[in-house]
Structure formats: C-alpha cells, structure tokens
Amino acid sequence: MEKMNTGRVWIVDFGSQYTQLIARRIREMSVYSEIVLPGEVNPDTLAANRVTALILSGGPSSVYEAEAPDIDREIFKQGIPILGICYGLQLMSKHFGARVHTDNRREYGRSQIYFRQKSPLFEKVAEGTTVWMSHGDHVDSIPEGFDVIALSENNAPAALEHQEQPLFGLQFHPEVKHTTEGEHILANFIFKIARIKPDWTAGHFIEQTTEQIRHQVGDGKVLMALSGGVDSSVMGMLIFRAIGNQCVPVFINNGVQRKNEPFEVIRKLKKMGLPVRKYNYSSQFLRALKGVKAPERKRKIIGHQFIRAFERIAAQYPDLSYLAQGTLYPDVIESRSVNGPSQVIKSHHNVGGLPKRMNLVLIEPFSYLFKDEVRKIGRELGLPEEILNRHPFPGPGLAVRIIGEVTAYRLAILRKADDIFINELLKSDEYNRVWQAFAVLVPVKTVGVMGDQRTYENVIALRAVNSSDGMTADWSPLPHPVLTRVANRIVNEVRGVNRVVYDITSKPPGTIEWE
C-alpha cells in the first residue's frame, strides 16, 4: 500500500457562503485544513507551508468578470492534488483552455449525477447519487487534458478529472448536507487521492502547541487574558501547563458582563488551579461607551479599552513579553479584510493585532480552531464540563445585546432578564440541548397592560440557536411551556419590560448576536 502523508489542506476562498463548511468537513476527518485567500497561493507558499492538497472553493463571480478572483496558474503544474468546486472548477477549466458558459437560468437545488467512467473520486459512491447544485455558469467545453467523469441529470458536465495530473473538479457542492454522499467524496479526495494521514487530533494539537509555546516564550512571561468562557479557559490551562509560573492570568471586569459573572468566573478559574488576578475597569469601559449607539463603534471602543487595560496591567510587570488570547477561527474569518472575496460580517474586539507601543507579542493558539475543536482539547486537558458546556459569550458582552446606547439602567434590565432565561433553561434541562441562548434588550417602547393600567415599556428578545462552530446556526424550537415560564417571569419580575418575543431567524441570513 502506498504510504500516507502527514500534511495540511488549503482551501482557497473565492467568496462562497460554503467555504467554512469545506474546512469543517476536512477537520472532521482529523486532517488539518486552513482557509486562505487566492493571492496567498503560489508554488513558494505551498512548499513553505507543506501543503499537501488544495481545494478551490465556489464563489459568486463569473470567471470572465473584470474583477473576478484568480489564482497563480503555476499551482496546476506542481503535482499537488487539487479539487475545484463550482467556481473553482470553472476557473481551473478556464486556465486549461475551456469555455465557461453563463446560463440565463441558474441551476440550483438537488440533482442526480451519473458516471461516465471510473474515478477514485467516486469510489463506492452510488450511481445517481443526489448532489446540491448552486451555480449560474457551467463548463461549455472540455478543458485540455481532462475527461468528463460524471454528468448531471441535464446531461451537463458534473465532474472532471485530468488524464495525467491529480486535478479534479465538481460542478456541485460536496460540503453541504444536501449532497447525500458529499462527505464520502471529500474523503476519497483526501485519503485516496491526496493520501493524507488522519493524524490531526486533540492530543496531537496539545503536544505540538505546547512545544511551540515553550520554544516561543523561552524565559519570558505571558499575560493571559481570561474571560471565563470556553476558549479563554482552555487556552489558559494549555499555556499554564506549558510554562507554569511564567504566566500572569488576569480577568478584567469590563462592566458589561452578566449577573454575578465576575465572582463566578474567578471562582471557577481558581478551582481549575489557575492563579487568576481580577482587575475592575468597569467604570472606564462604561464611560467610553456613553452616548454610543452604532454596533461597530461599540465593538471598537471595547477593543480599545481592553488594550488600555492590558497596558496598565502590563506596566506592573516589566518582564512581560507576550499577551495570550482565546481568539477563534470564526472571529478571524468574520473580521476578514474586504480586500478578500469574502465580506466582513462584523469586527471582533480581539482580532486585529496590538498597538506597537505595547511592545507585546500576541499568542493565539486557537486562532485556527472552531469552538467544538477547542472543547475537545479542553476535555483532553481534563477541564470540568461546567466550563466546557458553557454557552459562547461575546467579548463585548452585554454591550452588543443592548440595541443602541449602553447605560447602567439598561444593563440592569438585561442582566435580570438574561439571568431568568438561563436559569429556566438550566432547570428544564434545555441549557445543554442548545448551543447558545441569551436575551437581548430592544429599547423600543410598546404598549401593554399590567394591573388594569396602561404600560409603555421595553421589549426583551430571547434567542436560542444550535450550531457546531458558530459559522452557521439554526434557531432552536424550545418547548412552549419553557418559553411561557420565561416570558411570564421576565414581565412580572423585571421592571421596565412589558413584552417578550422569540427570535426564530437562522444564520444566515441573520447573525447569532443581534449586533
């Protein structure tokens, strides 16, 4: 049997809404994958990063548009296995001399494919298998050196394979669940064609990252920013185990946390053995947020205030050289520069580097991981389930769960409402059945009646979603009795609220957070 390779897969992002799904599918096979921009890919970068396979994503552009994203043609001559998906297939075909035709009508939805000849890409895939089409262009002629290995039910090329090089193309999306055997097709590309060894596990990551951190830090000291959430807690334990007392773990009270959160976070982190130190900068954060309504502005201000707080703390430790954060891959992806084909969804307070005056180097061991991967690492490290099962909480905290200006009065309302919601989910055993749940204060006054009197008060929106990584999410159909209890308690116990609504929007089109 041919030897398997240790390596990584690069997914070239041409702007598809499914690009992150490709990365997820490959990671689920215990193979490391990373999303990159077209301009970052050339023979030198492939060699330097030990890339063993490339996947070219789909995208909204036509390959003939003036500003259509392109890629260095030399990558097709390196002998590296390449799989083009939709736009990726069309771009590869164009580079090999084929014509790409723009249809008057998009081919969108489920279809069946039928094989023209045998291919390792479709080994053990059923004839007539269901696939998901989503494209407006298709290949109108066969690229030089390629064979058509599958046709769609409309008799159009659905898959291509080069006669000599390990180059393949699909006109459908194997990464989405609507493609019945999509994961099997991707596995054939990864294991049968690229011959990659499935050795990217939580244990391997811990071992490799621990070694990297020790080598990078040397005798230096690391300021660790801990929020008490899953990401920062796992990050804190990983780095603490790697370098011990060279860490300075700190928790910053920014004034926009949930009810009793500062106390609970310190208690749990110390129980884990982390010598965390608490700093209260809540007045500085709230003062900076006064009068600010725009969501992006609030995020930027909170990010700036965190930097200022870290500066003050770092000044107390002159031998500090590094700042460690629990930044995740979705944060990086959503904050991506508009210079790439994918658009910025929202900025994240912990993405974008540090000002030069801080003279600290960032350590972000999870910046290429998804949330569920961090949880696996946490379990491998032995963290308690009460930490690992904690719902995600945004760095800007309740500031982005209050629509408009953040005030002490509005924070008090939201803290009480959110506390009722989460406690009712815990009591009903629904908390661990959803990925994330929270309340949002919508400071829009609506008319109500309480005690035979007219009221004119605020709205609380409840949100609960299920997701694997936060990149996509479905709203969670919580039991009606649970929602009824929550709504009744909020209206009766939280002064300033007379209406409760439930958000049933999935992501996309909505984001999980409201701001």
* Residues marked as catalytic: 86, 173, 175
Q: Is the peptide bond before 509 cis (omega within 30 degrees of 0)?
A: yes
Q: Which residue type sits at 330?
A: P
Q: How many CB atoms lie within 10 A of CB 283?
A: 10
Two tokens at 368?
């290429």
First to last CA, the chain: 53
Eight-state DSSP code of residue 452: T
**Helices marked H in 177-281:** 182-187, 202-217, 230-243, 261-271
Q: Which residue type sits at 190?
A: I
As a residue count, the chain comes to 515
Two tokens at 111?
């279809």
CA distance 21 to 2: 29
Q: How many CB atoms lie within 10 A of CB 294?
A: 12
CA distance 239 to 206: 10
Supply angle C-alpha 221, 226, 232, rounded to 5. 100
Look up tokens 């004839």; give the residue: 127
